[in-house]
């Protein structure tokens, strides 16, 4: 499918880029995080070149790279990149945008994985409050962060 999109639409077409992102995600689901990171990084470079550094799809690609770093336990790098994405989302999308809230949840998750429990708990609680206000208490994203907080406070999330 990717070869067909490249041939018919071209390397820089949005659908070609989306297909590359899907293939990176499938690589991630297979647990091949280093390979997925390389794919996400290549996609990020192209999205920055084509769309610019501030485009929402570019920010998603940067967050994907950060997620791969975290899954490989490269927490300092993951946190640095996630903070950059959060700052850009805050500036471009505002505090209440769902993507900005997702970036904040990512930072809570990274703090928990690094054993910074009090910080993680505070971040989770603030994200829950804001997601409840913006998305509603029953929204799946709100529920997911509530579950992560419960896992943290229940001792199920341990530093790795």
Show pLDDT as tens, one digit a residue, over the chain (160 residues): 767 677 677 678 888 888 999 999 999 999 999 999 999 999 999 999 999 999 999 999 999 999 999 999 999 999 999 999 999 999 999 999 999 999 999 999 999 999 999 999 999 999 999 999 999 999 999 999 999 999 998 876 666 6
Domain boundary among 48, 72, 96: 72
Transcribe the chain into DSSP letters: -HHHHHHHH-TTSHHHHHHHHHHHHHHHHTT-HHHHHHHHHHHHHHHHHHH-TTSHHHHHHHHHHHHHHHHTT-HHHHHHHHHHHHHHHHHHH-TTSHHHHHHHHHHHHHHHHTT-HHHHHHHHHHHHHHHHHHH-TTSHHHHHHHHHHHHHHTT-S---
Domain boundary among 72, 100, 135: 72
Do 58 and 100 lie in a common domain? no
Q: What pLDDT shows up at residue 22?
A: 93
Do 52 and 84 lie in a common domain? no
- What's the total number of domains in the chain? 2
Do 64 and 87 lie in a common domain? no
Do 85 and 133 lie in a common domain? yes
Q: What global pTM score does this model have? A: 0.86
């Amino acid at each position: 499918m990717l070869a067909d999109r490249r041939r018919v639409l071209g390397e820089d077409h949005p659908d070609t880029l989306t297909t590359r992102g899907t293939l990176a995600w499938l690589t991630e689901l297979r647990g091949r995080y280093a390979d997925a990171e390389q794919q996400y990084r290549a996609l990020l470079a192209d999205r920055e070149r084509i769309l610019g550094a501030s485009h929402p799809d570019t920010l998603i690609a940067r967050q994907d790279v950060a997620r791969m770093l975290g899954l490989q336990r490269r927490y300092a790098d993951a946190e640095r990149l996630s903070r950059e994405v959060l700052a850009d989302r805050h500036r471009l999308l505002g505090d209440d945008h769902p993507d900005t809230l997702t970036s904040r949840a990512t930072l809570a998750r990274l703090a928990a994985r690094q054993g910074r429990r009090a910080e993680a708990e505070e971040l989770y609680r603030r994200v829950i409050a804001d997601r409840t206000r913006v998305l509603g208490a029953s929204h799946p994203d709100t529920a997911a962060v509530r579950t992560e907080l419960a896992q943290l406070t229940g001792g199920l999330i341990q530093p790795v």
